[in-house]
Structure 1
Amino acid sequence: MSRRTGSRRDLSEDDRILWNQVARTAVPLKGKTLPEEMLDPMVDASAAFHDVLEAAAAAPPPQRPRKSQEHVHTPRTIDQPTRQKLAKGRLPLEARVDLHGMTQGEAHALLLGFLHRAHAMGIRHVLVITGKGSSLGSEGVLRKAVPAWFATPSFRPLVGGYEFAARHHGGAGALYVRLRRQSDVSSR
């Protein structure tokens, strides 16, 4: 028993015209021929329909919107189970770096060198201590700058994700950083 609920006779006039056009452009499989009953001899596409098809074919494809220069790729956050294991000490923090009291230039150079060495050693999780920077009413220059650095081309091949640390590791003044595997970097 056929599962079709309708037949070609139930098609509207527009649908029959469209089906005829599609059926005429179909290429049969090798060794097969297109059955004559596939083409409806009662329907002949009008010149207007041909004009619409030709206009659609001649129209340039829609262009994808360009990414803005301001769009910056940010590393993903560390997944919740991994963050919890780091916070509870079940997953070791294999190295740490303290950026307290440094200028942005000093901190950037030290952090980049530290992450390169850690990555070369195959380390996966490190602790980066930025400090909260709440003295003299400031909001913490390094606390804001370090996550922004992770989105730059020099850090992107190294950093797979980051998340603020648990309170006993420094809370909002420290970051858990997951480094990419060496195979991830070589395939890019």
Structure 2
Amino acid sequence: MRRRKLSPEERDLWSRVAATTQAIHPVRPAPPDDLPAPQSTPKQKPPPPKPDLRDFRIGQSAPGFVLRQDLAPPLSERLAAGPVRMDRKAHQKMTRGRLEPEGRIDLHGMTLAQAHPELIRFILNAQSAGKRLVLVITGKGKRGLDEGPIPQRQGALRHQVPHWLHLPPLAAAVLQVTPAHQKHGGSGAYYVYMRRNR
């Protein structure tokens, strides 16, 4: 299809209409010839901070032993958070050191393999003898050299004994386990309150 050319009258009409309009976006004046046109410079990001790395050579020994943080809550907090299964008044007296243990066993210095059967024998004999409160002394333990990827806990017996007391065959004999009062050994010993022998 061919485009039709405007007649002189139509061109005159168009020029009069165009003269009455305003531009939506006004045209910016061109800069003078003697000034250079402004150039937009891209913003440069600051370089990221370099990590503080020490020089290390092959064959050089690694830095010394660093004490790791134990993310698990302390054993005393975990035991205290457990439910009270015994009489509350007796429990308060026991935790304040006002109840005297009727028997005690000292596992301090034993290995885990030696201590486990001794604990089983002692607890079952105490229950069969009708004792209600006994003291299990574990000691606080020593922190060994921790070189592996899994952190080691201080005092293997201190952490293992409450676990053993909640497993068969001792779980049927034990009603409550709490850390001992300071006068009975503090965090290096446990009160074990026994179930009644039926």
Amino acid of the structure 1 residue aligned with 2:157: L
Give CA-to-partner distance per residue, 1:28-61, whole Å, 9 cap, x none: xxxxxxxxxxxxxxxxxxxxxxxxxxxxxxxxxx
Post-superposition offset of 1:82: 2.4
Gaps of 5+ in 1: 1-73, 184-188
Q: Identify if the C-alpha distance between structure 1 residues 89 and 152 changes in structure 2 by more than 3 Å, giving closer, same or farther.
A: closer
Q: Which has the larger Rg?
A: 2
Q: Distance in 2 between matches of 1:75 and 1:150?
A: 15
Post-superposition offset of 1:102: 0.4
Identity %: 44
Q: Identify if the C-alpha distance between structure 1 residues 115 and 81 changes in structure 2 by more than 3 Å, giving closer, same or farther.
A: same
TM-score, normalised to structure 2, is 0.50
Q: Does 2:123 match 1:115?
A: yes
Q: Is contact 1:77-1:163 (8 Å) kept?
A: no
Q: Identify if the C-alpha distance between structure 1 residues 142 and 182 changes in structure 2 by more than 3 Å, giving closer, same or farther.
A: same
Post-superposition offset of 1:171: 1.0
For residue 143 of structure 1, give the secondary structure of its aligned residue in structure 2.
helix
- Which residue matches 2:181? 166
Q: Distance in 1 between matches of 2:119 and 2:155?
A: 17
Give CA-to-partner distance per residue, 1:57-112, whole Å, 9 cap, x none: xxxxxxxxxxxxxxxxx885666532442355542210000001101111011110
- Which residue matches 1:142? 157
Amino acid of the structure 1 residue aligned with 2:114: E
Gaps of 5+ in 2: 1-81, 146-152
Q: Distance in 2 between matches of 1:77 and 1:129?
A: 22
Aligned pairs for 1:73-88 within 5 A: 81-88=89-96
Q: Identify if the C-alpha distance between structure 1 residues 76 and 90 changes in structure 2 by more than 3 Å, giving closer, same or farther.
A: closer
Amino acid of the structure 2 residue aligned with 1:136: G
Amino acid of the structure 2 residue aligned with 1:115: I
Q: Distance in 1 between matches of 2:106 and 2:126?
A: 14
Q: Distance in 1 between matches of 2:164 and 2:83?
A: 10
Q: Identify if the C-alpha distance between structure 1 residues 159 and 146 changes in structure 2 by more than 3 Å, giving closer, same or farther.
A: same
- Which residue matches 1:98? 106
For residue 123 of structure 2, give the secondary structure of its aligned residue in structure 1.
helix
Between structures 1 and 2, the one with greater helix share: 1
Q: Identify if the C-alpha distance between structure 1 residues 133 and 89 changes in structure 2 by more than 3 Å, giving closer, same or farther.
A: closer
- Which residue matches 2:137? 129
Equivalences, count: 110
**How large is the RMSD of aligned CA atoms in angstroms?**
2.3
Aligned pairs for 1:13-32 within 5 A: none
Q: Is the deviation greater in 105-114 or in 128-137?
A: 128-137
Q: Distance in 2 between matches of 1:76 and 1:85?
A: 13
